[in-house]
Amino acid sequence: MIPLRLEACLREHIPETLLQKRARRRDGRCHLVLDYRDEHLLARMGIVCDTLGPKLLAFMWDEAAPEEIGGYLVVDNLAMGAPSMGGIRMLPEITPADIHNLARGMTLKNAAAHLPFGGGKAGVFADPAAPPEQHSRVVRGFARLLRRYRHLYVPGPDVGSNDADMKTIAVENGLEAAVSKPAELGGNRIDELGAAAGGVVIALQRLIEILPRLAVLPQFAQMKTPAPEELTVLIQGFGAVGAHAARLLRERLPAVRVVGVSDLEGYLFCSEGLPVEELFAEWKQHGTVTGRYFGEHIQPRRPRSPIQFSTDANNLLRESAFCFVPAAPVFNYLGVLPSEKCSMGVERMGAWSLIVEGANTYSPDPNRKAARTRMEQVVFRQKGVMIATDYLVNSGGVIFAAQEQIVPTPPELQLPEDMLGNPAAADAWLRQHADDFARLSEKRLEAGDAYREKVIRRNMTELVDLLASNADLLPCQAAERISVRRLADKESERTAKDIMEPIPMVRVDTPLTQVAALIVEGRGNIIAVLGDDERLAGVVTTWDITRAVAEGTSAGRLEAIMTKRVVTAGTGARIVDIVRELEQNRISAMPVVEDGRVLGVVSSDLLAQRYLPQLLRSHVGAAGGGTGPSKQFGPSLRIPE
pLDDT in tens, 57-105: 999 999 999 999 999 999 999 989 989 999 999 999 999 999 999 999 9
Does 227 reside within a domain? yes
Question: DSSP for 210-223?
Answer: HGGGGGGSGGGTT-
Burial class (CB in 10 A: 0-12, 13-18, 19+), 68: buried
Q: What is d(CA 476, CA 535) in angstroms, rounded to the nearest whole number?
A: 50
417 Cβ neighbours under 8 A, 6+ residues apart: none
Does 212 reside within a domain? yes
Answer whether residue 516 shows pLDDT above 50.
yes
Answer whether residue 624 shows pLDDT above 80.
no
Angle (CA) 535-610-615 rounded to 5° is 100
Torsion (CA) 191, 197, 199, 202 in degrees, nearest 10: -140
Q: What is d(CA 343, CA 356) in angstroms, rounded to the nearest whole number?
A: 16
* CA atoms within a 13 Å half-sphere pointing along the CA-CB vector of 345: 7
Same domain (yes/no): 392, 435: no
Same domain (yes/no): 478, 555: no
> Mean pLDDT lowest for which of 430-444, 542-556, 607-621?
607-621
Widest Cα–Cα separation across the chain? 99
How high is the mean pLDDT of the chain?
89
Same domain (yes/no): 186, 210: no
Which CATH number fits the domain that encloses residue 169?
3.40.50.10860
Cβ-contact 151, 82 below 8 angstroms: yes
**Alpha helical stretches, state H, 361-413:** 366-376, 390-393, 396-406
Same domain (yes/no): 326, 221: yes
Answer whether residue 510 shows pLDDT above 90.
no
Q: What is d(CA 365, CA 431) in angstroms, rounded to the nearest whole number?
A: 46
Does 305 reside within a domain? yes
* CA atoms within a 13 Å half-sphere pointing along the CA-CB vector of 161: 34
The pLDDT of residue 328 = 92
Which CATH number fits the domain that encloses residue 332?
3.40.50.720
Query: 243 to each of 200, 233, 279, 390, 398, how far by Cα in Å?
Result: 12, 13, 8, 17, 19
Q: What pLDDT, in 10s, does the model give residues 383-416? A: 999 999 999 999 999 999 999 999 999 999 999 9
Cβ-contact 289, 322 below 8 angstroms: no
Same domain (yes/no): 13, 134: yes
**Domain count for the chain:** 3
Q: Residue 512 — pLDDT band, cuts 50, 70, 90?
A: confident
Q: What is d(CA 635, CA 630) in angstroms, rounded to the nearest whole number?
A: 9
The pLDDT of residue 311 = 95
> Nearest to residue 591, comparing CAs of 531, 540, 641, 542?
540
Same domain (yes/no): 542, 552: yes
Q: What are phi and psi of 532, to 5 degrees?
A: -65, -25
Same domain (yes/no): 302, 381: yes
Same domain (yes/no): 479, 504: no
469: containing domain = 195-396+453-489
401 Cβ neighbours under 8 A, 6+ residues apart: 85, 156, 179, 180, 187, 190
Start-to-end CA distance of the chain, whole Å, equals: 45
> Nearest to residue 434, comparing CAs of 186, 113, 84?
186
Same domain (yes/no): 301, 172: no
Answer whether residue 130 shows pLDDT above 60.
yes
State whether residue 115 is helix, strand or coil.
Answer: coil
* CA atoms within a 13 Å half-sphere pointing along the CA-CB vector of 575: 28
Q: What is d(CA 498, CA 82) in angstroms, rounded to the nearest whole number?
A: 8
Does 632 reside within a domain? no
Q: What pLDDT, in 10s, does the model give residues 551-561? A: 776 666 788 88
Does 415 reside within a domain? yes
Bin 586: left if φ > 0, else alpha if -120 < ψ < 50, else beta.
left
Does 558 reside within a domain? yes
The pLDDT of residue 620 = 46
Q: Residue 524 — pLDDT band, cuts 50, 70, 90?
A: low
> Mean pLDDT lowest for which of 174-178, 191-195, 241-245, 300-304?
300-304
Q: What pLDDT, in 10s, does the model give residues 175-224? A: 999 999 999 999 987 777 888 999 999 999 999 999 999 999 999 998 88
Taking the alpha carbons of 380, 386, 387, 388 in that order, is the dihedral positive or negative?
A: positive
Provide the pairing of β-strand 589-594 with 308-310.
unpaired
Same domain (yes/no): 469, 434: no
Answer whether residue 522 shows pLDDT above 80.
no
The pLDDT of residue 633 = 28
> Nearest to residue 268, comparing CAs of 304, 300, 238?
238
DSSP single-letter state for residue 408: P
Same domain (yes/no): 350, 411: no
Q: What pLDDT, in 10s, does the model give residues 562-580? A: 888 899 999 989 888 888 8
Of 465, 489, 513, which residue sits at a domain end? 489
Mean pLDDT of 149-160: 93
Cβ-contact 599, 571 below 8 angstroms: yes
Of 440, 461, 489, which residue sits at a domain end? 489
Same domain (yes/no): 413, 467: no
Mean pLDDT of 283-292: 92
The pLDDT of residue 611 = 61
Cβ-contact 163, 182 below 8 angstroms: yes
Provide the pairing of β-strand 386-388 with 354-356.
parallel
Cβ-contact 177, 150 below 8 angstroms: yes
Does 625 reside within a domain? no
Using the CB atoms, write b or e for 618-635: b if 16+ within 10 Å. Answer: bbbeeeeeeeebeeebee
Sheet holding 526-530, edge to edge: 505-507, 526-530, 536-541
Report the predicted TM-score, pTM, of the whole model to 2 decimal places. 0.80
Which CATH number fits the domain that encloses residue 572?
3.10.580.10
The pLDDT of residue 91 = 94
Torsion (CA) 381, 383, 385, 390 in degrees, nearest 10: -60
Q: How many CB atoms lie within 10 A of CB 406?
A: 15
Of 462, 489, 516, which residue sits at a domain end? 489
Does 295 reside within a domain? yes
Size of the chain in residues: 641
